[in-house]
Amino acid sequence: MTGLLVAGAHVVDPRAGLDGPHDVLVRDGEVAQLGAPGSLDAPSGVETVEGEGRHLLPAFVDPHVHLRVPGQEHKEDFATGTAAAAAGGYCAVVAMPNTDPPIDDASVLSAVREAAAREGRVRVEFLAAITRGLGGRELTEMAELRGSGALGFTDDGMPVVSAGVLRRALQYQRLCGGVIALHEEDPALSADGVIHEGEVSALLGMAGIPSISESTMIARDAALAGYEEARIHVQHLSAIESVEAVAAAKAAGVRITAEASPHHLLLTDEILRTDELHTRFKMNPPLRAERDRQALIAGLRDGTIDCVATDHAPHANHEKEVPFEEAPMGTTGLETAFAALHTDLVVPGVLDLALVVERMTAGAALFDLPTPRIAPGEPANLALVDLDAEWQAGEAGWESKAENSCFAGRTLRGRVVLTVAGGAIAHRRMEVAA
């Protein structure tokens, strides 16, 4: 792509102080120039995209996705996972290491980094495992993994149960750097639970996952991080007690950040009572109660929760078409994140568009990636969205290989029509006029 002129879109980039109509000219992979609407002309050979009636945002960064490579390519691969990311307006994603084999050694990491660079439509970065085989006992060769390009570390999907092991990892971080991201769950409390422990689990007779299985581990790990002056990131917050634990740790000066996913921000376990017992609503941590959801929204608003992360977790249909208790945990999220948040939080006036944009890009800095900005000289990472477009999230028809979207069947408002990632067009909907 030699260049692109997005003409007259309403540009929203809170970090750049932009909230109004502009022409934006992209050349040689960078934002070259901003101007008043109608003031810029496309140089010859540069395509003009009509932006009027649309919003131009910095493209999003997702610090938590599962791309399933290596070993589970029947669920997702780099081509489909990054196509899904691009369709959702993302210019970069951070993939988790709970693959088969797990990304717990430099040779595996190097192989997936090469494959992702070759096959991905958007930038893919990786966290490596904290412990070998995600087993929770022996540390991985964290220094070598960092040297091979790991942004940081996580045993996501599994908690680091032993405080002693986590403490060693936090100490070792002084040598190797890289944020340590934590899936917080005390298995002695979550046990064989499959949904949130509360009224709905009592009604359905399903084993519950109590909120305290998450919040007590956050409190423990925040204490460890504070003691070791380490830097931790709490993944997929789901409960009010967890928001409180993160807020308390932040107030105490711990270097702790946190994320929340669109499904926890928008859905509750009530949907299991009303909308059949569909396995697309089975995820870990589970959908919780309305007061939890409200606490997550408030946390996102006041900054206790730093960013939105989808925890995009694709599964094949045959894996999800089983009884609820047997189904694997997870929902896809990349293609619906912005639209769902816009529909349920921005349109009703719960959150400002600018705040949602800020939180959907803030994951970059937390993992030491450059934050997309719409400013001259910055790499072109842009999402052009039509906020009025209504579309039906389908059971099928996704860019992702997987169809386990918790928003399937919902009418969403707001659609990404064009994504520019690293200066190249990574996604464009057919109807976008050239």
Q: Which of 180, 206, 351, 412 binds another protein (CB under 8 A)?
A: 206
Site string for another protein, 209-228 (x = CB under 8 A): -x------------------
Beta strand extents in 187-266 (DSSP E only): 195-196, 208-209, 231-234, 255-260
Q: Which is nearer to another protein, 120 or 198 (CB)?
A: 198
Residue 285 preceded by cis peptide, ω within 30: yes
Q: Quick one: how far is CA 388 from the chain centroid? A: 24
Q: How many helices (H) and strands (E) does the chain have?
A: 15, 18
Q: 315 φ, ψ to 5°? A: -135, 150
Site string for another protein, 296-335 (x = CB under 8 A): ----------------------x--xxxxxx---------
Query: Do 255 and 224 touch, CB atoms closer than 8 A?
Result: no
Least Å distance between CB 216 and another protein? 16
| Residue 244: how many other CB atoms lie within 10 Å | 16
Least Å distance between CB 328 and another protein? 11
Least Å distance between CB 198 and another protein? 5
Q: Which is nearer to another protein, 161 or 207 (CB)?
A: 207
Least Å distance between CB 273 and another protein? 10
- 311 is known as an active-site residue: yes
Closest CA to 304 of 249, 247, 377: 247
Least Å distance between CB 342 and another protein? 32
Q: Residue 82 and residue 116: Cα distance in Å, rounded?
A: 9
Q: Residue 328 and residue 202: Cα distance in Å, rounded?
A: 21
Using CA atoms, how far residue 221 sits from 89, 164, 214, 217, 356, in Å, is 33, 11, 11, 6, 28
Touching another protein, residues 116-175 (CB under 8 A): none
**Applying CB under 8 A, does 201 fall inside the site for another protein?**
yes
Contact region for another protein (CB under 8 A) — 18-26, 154-162, 194-202, 383-391? 194-202
N-terminal to C-terminal alpha carbon distance within the chain: 13
Number of amino acids touching another protein (CB under 8 A): 22
Considering the candidates 62, 221, 311, 344, report the single residue annotated as catalytic: 311
Using CA atoms, how far residue 17 sits from 90, 190, 305, 416, in Å, is 21, 44, 22, 22
Touching another protein, residues 8-47 (CB under 8 A): none
> What single-letter DSSP state applies at residue 16?
G
Q: Residue 66 and residue 154: Cα distance in Å, rounded?
A: 12
Closest CA to 351 of 308, 310, 387, 297: 297
Q: Which is nearer to another protein, 201 or 419 (CB)?
A: 201
Place of tokens 């189904």: 327
Least Å distance between CB 369 and another protein? 39
Q: Which of 76, 104, 156, 197 binds another protein (CB under 8 A)?
A: 197
Contact region for another protein (CB under 8 A) — 26-34, 40-48, 90-98, 191-199? 191-199
Q: Which of 205, 253, 348, 397 binds another protein (CB under 8 A)?
A: 205
Please give the radius of gyration of the chain, using alpha carbons only, rounded to the nearest integer: 21
Least Å distance between CB 218 and another protein? 21
Using CA atoms, how far residue 187 sits from 48, 131, 158, 237, 390, in Å, is 54, 17, 9, 16, 41
Contact region for another protein (CB under 8 A) — 41-49, 161-169, 201-209, 251-259? 201-209
Q: Residue 423 and residue 246: Cα distance in Å, rounded?
A: 36
Touching another protein, residues 240-269 (CB under 8 A): none
Using CA atoms, how far residue 121 sits from 84, 85, 401, in Å, is 9, 8, 15
Q: Which is nearer to another protein, 91 or 327 (CB)?
A: 327
Least Å distance between CB 267 and another protein? 18
Touching another protein, residues 267-296 (CB under 8 A): 276-277
Query: Do 66 and 37 touch, CB atoms closer than 8 A?
Result: no
Q: Which is nearer to another protein, 201 or 381 (CB)?
A: 201
Q: Which is nearer to another protein, 323 or 377 (CB)?
A: 323
Touching another protein, residues 41-70 (CB under 8 A): none
Q: Which is nearer to another protein, 202 or 347 (CB)?
A: 202
Least Å distance between CB 64 and another protein? 27
Q: Which of 111, 117, 163, 202 binds another protein (CB under 8 A)?
A: 202
Residues that bind another protein (CB under 8 A): 197-208, 210, 276-277, 318, 321-326
Positions marked active-site: 311
